[in-house]
C-alpha cells in the first residue's frame, strides 16, 4: 500500500529533515517524496495523527514470546502485533522456547512464522545445546539460517572454557556472543537484590557481586580471545564501571540495560507484587543513577524492554514460586521518555541495530520506509488496559509515562493501535 504522512516531525539525526515537520510519501515500501506539503492522490492512504513524530524503526534486542511450546504466554503472530503497536519494527527473539532454538531447523521455523509480518523477527540462537551450558550448539549453521546472535537467555555460562571457545569460534563468521551476567554460586537461591530491602522483607538476596564477578570474568576472557561480546541487561553501578573501563581498553564489548532497571528500584518490592520479580533483580537508586550516567556517557549502548510474558498460573503465586519476568514492549517508549529527552530515547531504541548487524536507513527520499510513529508528549498513567500482550505481568501498571507510540510503517505495511 501507499501512504502519505501529514505533518510528521522527523527525529533522525542522520536525516537532512531532522527536527523538520514535513509530509512524507511512501509508495511500495519506499520513501518517494518529502516536502513541506504534498497533495494527496487517489492511490494513497492519508495518515493524520495528533502531534505525529517519526523516527527510524525501533529495535528491541531482548524479547521473549512463547511459541513454540508456551503459546499460552504469547504466540509469535500476536507477539509481533504487540511489538508493532508498541512502535517496534524489529525484535531479537530469545531461544527460551520448547524445544529450545538451538539448531538451524528451529531458526527456520521462526523466520517462516514471521515472514509476512510488518515487524522483522531476528532469532537469537542458543549458545549451548538446550541452553544447558554443557555443549556448544551449532552456531554457524544457525547463523546461515538467520540467527543474529547466540546466547542462553537468563542462564549464565558457568564454564569459562566454554565461553572462551565460543568467542574464538564465532570470530570465524563474525558471530556475536551473548553472556548473561550472573555468577550462580554467588547468587545462590536469592531472588531479589541483596540490600536493606531484602532484609526488611525477609526475601533471599542476590548480591550485586554476582553480576559484577561474572562480567569481570567475561571481560578477561574477551581480552584473551578477541571477538565480539554483548552483555545483556546489566543492573549495577560497578557493572557500568567495568564495561566503561573495557571500552577504554578497546575491547569489542557492548551492553544493554532494561527500562525497568532504569526507572524502578527494589523499593517496589514492599507490596510483594510478583510483577517486580525480574532477573537481574531491581537494584537501588544508586544503581539506577549509575545506569543513567552510563547512557549519557556512551557506556550503555542500548535499552531493551526485556519483554517476557508469563502466564497467570506462573506469576500470580507466592513470591518464592513465581517465575521471573515482566512484559515491557507496550510501556518501553513512554517510560523511557520520562527520564531521557526525545533524541536520547530514540537513540537508545535504535542503536542496537548496528551492534546486531541489522540494516538501518535514514529518513530520506529513495530509502526504504522503516518507521516508528509516535507522540512524544502527554502524561499517561499506564494501566492494564494498555497491556496488549496475552500475558498481563507488567511491572509498569500504575506508573506514569510520557507520550505514546502510534504504531509502525515497515515492510510495506502499516499497523496502528
Q: Which residues lie closer than 8 Å to 343 by C-beta, 6 or more apart?
A: 11, 13
Instruction: List pLDDT tens digits, range 271-283.
Output: 999 999 999 999 9
Backbone angles phi, psi at 320, to 5 degrees: -60, -35
Name the band, by pLDDT with cuts 50, 70 and 90, for residue 192: very high
Measured CA to CA, the distance from residue 212 to residue 219 in angstroms comes to 11
- Residue 293 pLDDT more than 90? yes
* β-strands 192-193, 205-206 pairing: parallel
Instruction: List pLDDT tens digits, range 297-349.
Output: 999 999 999 999 999 999 999 999 999 999 999 999 999 999 999 999 999 99
The CATH number, out of the four listed (3.20.20.140, 3.40.50.1970, 3.40.50.740, 1.20.58.220), of the domain defined by the range 58-355: 3.20.20.140
Instruction: List pLDDT tens digits, range 151-161.
Output: 999 999 999 99
298, 282 Cβ separation under 8 angstroms: no
This prediction has a pTM of 0.97
- Residue 149 pLDDT more than 90? yes
- Residue 42 pLDDT more than 90? no
At 143 the three-state DSSP class reads: helix
- Residue 384 pLDDT more than 90? yes
Measured CA to CA, the distance from residue 63 to residue 327 in angstroms comes to 9
Interval 194-215 mean pLDDT: 97
pLDDT of res. 410 = 98
Nearest to 134 by CA among 157, 151, 155, 101: 157
Query: Angle at CA 14, nearest 5°, toward 8 and 16?
Result: 60
7, 34 Cβ separation under 8 angstroms: no
Measured CA to CA, the distance from residue 110 to residue 93 in angstroms comes to 9
Q: Does 3-53+365-380+399-416 match 58-355 in CATH topology?
A: no
Interval 123-143 mean pLDDT: 98
Measured CA to CA, the distance from residue 377 to residue 404 in angstroms comes to 8
Topology of domain 3-53+365-380+399-416 in CATH is: Urease, subunit C; domain 1 (2.30.40)
Name the band, by pLDDT with cuts 50, 70 and 90, for residue 269: very high
pLDDT of res. 1 = 86
pLDDT of res. 60 = 98
Q: Which residues lie closer than 8 Å to 161 by C-beta, 6 or more apart?
A: none
Alpha helices in 341-381 (DSSP H): 342-350, 352-355
* Alpha carbon of residue 291 to chain centroid: 16
Measured CA to CA, the distance from residue 342 to residue 332 in angstroms comes to 13
Which positions are annotated as active-site residues? 306
Q: Which residues lie closer than 8 Å to 128 by C-beta, 6 or more apart?
A: 102, 134, 135, 136, 137, 152, 157, 162
Mean confidence (pLDDT) of the chain: 97
List the domain boundaries for the chain. 3-53+365-380+399-416, 58-355
Phi-psi region of 119 (alpha: psi -120 to 50; beta: other; left: phi over 0): beta
Amino acid at each position: 500500500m501507499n501512504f502519505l504522512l501529514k505533518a510528521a516531525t522527523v527525529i533522525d539525526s542522520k536525516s537532512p529533515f531532522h527536527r523538520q515537520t514535513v509530509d512524507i510519501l511512501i509508495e511500495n515500501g519506499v520513501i518517494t517524496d518529502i516536502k513541506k506539503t504534498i497533495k494527496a492522490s487517489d492511490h494513497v492512504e492519508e495518515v493524520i495523527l495528533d502531534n505525529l513524530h517519526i523516527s527510524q524503526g525501533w529495535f528491541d534486542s531482548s524479547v521473549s514470546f512463547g511459541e513454540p511450546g508456551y503459546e499460552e504466554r504469547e504466540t509469535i503472530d500476536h507477539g509481533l502485533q504487540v511489538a508493532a503497536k508498541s512502535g517496534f519494527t524489529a525484535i531479537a527473539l530469545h531461544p527460551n522456547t520448547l524445544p529450545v532454538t538451538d539448531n538451524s531447523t528451529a531458526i527456520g521455523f521462526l523466520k517462516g512464522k514471521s515472514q509476512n509480518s510488518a515487524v522483522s523477527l531476528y532469532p537469537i540462537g542458543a549458545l549451548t545445546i538446550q541452553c544447558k551450558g554443557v555443549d556448544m550448539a551449532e552456531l554457524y549453521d544457525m547463523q546461515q539460517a538467520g540467527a543474529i546472535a547466540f546466547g542462553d537467555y537468563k542462564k549464565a555460562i558457568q564454564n569459562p572454557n566454554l565461553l572462551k571457545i565460543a568467542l574464538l569460534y564465532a570470530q570465524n563468521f563474525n558471530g556475536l556472543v551473548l553472556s548473561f551476567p550472573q555468577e550462580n554460586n554467588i547468587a545462590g537461591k536469592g531472588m531479589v537484590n541483596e540490600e536493606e530491602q531484602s532484609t526488611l522483607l525477609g526475601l533471599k538476596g542476590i548480591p550485586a557481586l554476582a553480576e559484577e564477578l561474572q562480567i569481570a570474568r567475561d571481560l578477561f576472557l574477551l581480552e584473551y580471545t578477541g571477538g565480539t561480546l554483548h552483555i545483556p541487561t546489566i543492573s549495577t553501578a560497578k557493572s557500568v564501571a567495568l564495561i566503561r573501563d573495557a571500552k577504554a581498553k578497546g575491547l569489542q564489548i557492548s551492553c544493554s540495560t532494561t527500562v525497568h532497571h532504569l526507572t524502578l528500584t527494589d523499593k517496589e518490592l514492599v507490596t510483594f507484587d510478583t510483577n517486580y520479580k525480574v532477573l537481574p533483580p531491581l537494584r537501588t537508586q544508586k544503581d539506577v543513577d549509575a545506569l543513567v550516567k552510563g547512557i549519557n556517557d556512551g557506556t550503555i549502548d542500548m535499552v531493551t524492554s526485556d519483554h517476557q510474558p508469563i502466564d497467570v498460573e506462573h506469576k500470580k503465586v507466592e513470591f518464592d514460586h513465581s517465575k521471573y519476568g515482566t512484559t515491557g514492549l507496550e510501556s518501553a517508549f513512554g517510560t523511557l521518555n520520562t527520564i531521557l529527552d526525545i533524541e536520547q530515547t530514540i537513540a537508545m531504541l535504535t542503536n542496537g541495530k548496528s551492534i546486531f548487524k541489522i540494516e538501518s536507513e535514514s529518513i530520506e527520499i529513495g530509502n526504504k520506509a522503516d518507521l516508528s510513529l509516535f507522540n512524544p508528549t502527554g502524561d499517561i498513567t499506564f494501566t492494564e488496559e494498555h497491556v496488549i500482550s496475552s500475558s498481563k505481568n507488567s511491572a509498569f501498571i500504575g506508573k506514569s509515562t510520557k507520550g505514546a507510540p502510534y504504531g509502525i510503517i515497515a515492510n510495506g505495511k502499516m499497523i496502528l493501535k
